[in-house]
Chain A
């Protein structure tokens, strides 16, 4: 706790109501959460507990009904949709459950477009994208279209797209849900490595118990409220937090 780094993202008392009239639902009921660099945080909870809603708010994709969100020191409360897009562009990378790659673009182009929307259009941007794809193990797939890639490969392209612009925050919704065991592990290992080596804050929403072993921190959400948080004790290697969780479960 001594040199706890400054949070890059800080959410305080977030409330979100969705729908209207009789169908109005309070999806998030006062959640607070901070993300610091160098950590992979998992957000876990039952279906319908508000994970996706909270993630969308943290990602400046959805605005909250009340509560405060600060991204890299900027308060988001009064920003319009273009200013929110600007924040996303500057600080965030996103990974989706169904990859959301552009089917008409190659793997390399899918990554390049993330830099292109940031105005990075030169040759070095292209080199950077190749480098990132190589880093996620897709050096041989640069010119392949998503339709010709396996699910695991597609998600790795998506990871490359998320980190190509060197964002301080990476947000992922169920990144392994569509992947088999081996590919799921590969993607989680990649996310853990991105957090560690590149000192980014990575937050992944997940149901998947296989992902536990990669987490530095697990935040639990139920019915729109944060109900608990487990942190891997300092000095423990990643797999140990999984053991810890297992033991806790066993103990009841």
Chain B
């Protein structure tokens, strides 16, 4: 009967129900989009780090993110690292901004990634055309489909000019987007060195440890051996990259601020409608109290109203968020939705509605059943 009464109270006033649901829906969509974009941005920023098979990253001192390195590490650091106990492999990785000259003229910036997949470090991922073997061919390079326009090319076989040399598209990735808006271009380590005219330098060393090694200990040993270089765990490097792009630039703060605003607005709207609904049904709640119901029973009716609103509002909100997700797929900043985020949003909705119920519950605690005979 608690659910029945809650349902009837809600559906009794359709307009108020609509306002409640729109409030929740608005809130969910806003929070979902903001956090979805946040996740999308995070994914862009960390996708290369996540795909690299490394326990530790050696970077030049002060490197702020994956894109911020130069080619300052040399084979000296490599030898020092290899001599460290617990280290199995030390794999060079080049990441550096470069000028891309389009075949039809004009230029743009790319992030050139030089990596030898057979080293087991970073293998170009999400390839939809060609393979990393193809990238080993002379002049070969892989770029993402999303950026064809920007790069002035149409597909595999097209050529362009990077720094000192000519490159030819041999493989294509899909969905490997760049937060800096400078597309990633993947080639081999040696071609990257050749293009930049630097025979020995590298941006990072990916360190793989022997099975069973204490990664923290290896990290400490490496720090002691290497001068002018930093040694970060995968997690540390991820966090540092995220901090650089999401917080130093303010982008993440704006996204999270938008989400908080969504929560706030949703809570206020739901609290307002639930309160006015409770006020309208106060006579009935008073009768219930006179009939001997405990106050807990009445709270449950109000909480059930909040809960039903939450569930319906969530279903509507998440559906719209998913539509936006699909629509954002081919934009510069695609939204991401994970089961964890969806679940978190549900918890948030229920929590938001429960908090909204507080003002209504405060109202019914003041019910005096004595007024029941005086109407």
Contacts and interface: CB of A to CB of B under 8 A. Distances in A.
Contacts of A100: 283-284, 287, 290, 372, 375
Contact of B289 (A85, A87, A173): A85
Q: Which of B288, B293, B297, B373 has the most CB of A within 10 A?
A: B373
Interface in B1-34: 1-2, 4-5, 8-9, 12
A105 interface: yes
B370 interface: yes
Contacts of A88: 290-292
Nearest to A104: B8
A117 B290 contact: no
Contacts of B338: none
A114 B287 CA distance: 10
A74 to B, nearest CB: 14
Contacts of A112: 1
A198 to B, nearest CB: 19
Q: Which of B5, B289, B291, B369 has the most CB of A within 10 A?
A: B291
Contacts of A109: 1, 4
Interface stretch (A4-12, A39-47, A89-97): A89-97
Given A88-B291, A100-B287, A105 B4 contact: yes
A113 B294 contact: no
Q: Which of B1, B284, B290, B292 has the most CB of A within 10 A?
A: B292
Contacts of B181: none
Given A105-B8, A109-B4, A114 B291 contact: yes
Secondary structure at the B interface, as helix, strand, loop or mixed, is helix
Count class of interface residues, chain B: 20 to 34
Contacts of A34: none
A117 B5 contact: no
Given A55-B373, A100-B287, A89 B292 contact: yes
A96 B292 contact: no
A82 B295 contact: yes
A117 B373 contact: no
B5 A102 contact: yes
A114 B5 CA distance: 12
B1 A96 contact: no
Contact of A85 (B9, B283, B294): B294
B374 interface: yes
A61 interface: yes
B370 A94 contact: no
Interface in B320-375: 369-370, 372-375
Interface in A82-133: 82, 85-90, 92, 94, 96-98, 100, 102-105, 109, 112-114, 116-118, 121
Given A98-B375, A102-B284, A89 B293 contact: yes
Contacts of B1: 109, 112-113, 116, 121
Contacts of B284: 100, 102
Count class of interface residues, chain A: 20 to 34
B316 to A, nearest CB: 23
B5 A113 contact: yes
A138 B295 CA distance: 31
B370 A117 contact: no
A117 B375 contact: no
Contacts of A118: 292
Contact of A61 (B283, B293, B370, B375): B370
A92 to B, nearest CB: 7
Contacts of A87: 292
A62 B370 CA distance: 6
B294 A117 contact: yes
A161 B293 CA distance: 13
A76 interface: no
B4 A92 contact: no
A52 interface: yes
B9 A117 contact: no
B297 A117 contact: yes
A56 B371 CA distance: 9
Given A109-B1, A117-B293, 13 more contacts: A61-B370, A82-B295, A88-B292, A94-B291, A94-B372, A98-B375, A100-B284, A100-B287, A104-B8, A105-B4, A105-B5, A116-B1, A173-B373
Interface of A: 52, 55-56, 59, 61-62, 81-82, 85-90, 92, 94, 96-98, 100, 102-105, 109, 112-114, 116-118, 121, 161, 173
Interface of B: 1-2, 4-5, 8-9, 12, 283-284, 287-295, 297, 369-370, 372-375
Closest CB pairs A-B (n = 6): A89-B292, A104-B8, A117-B293, A88-B292, A116-B1, A62-B370
5 contacts: A82-B295, A102-B8, A105-B5, A112-B1, A117-B294
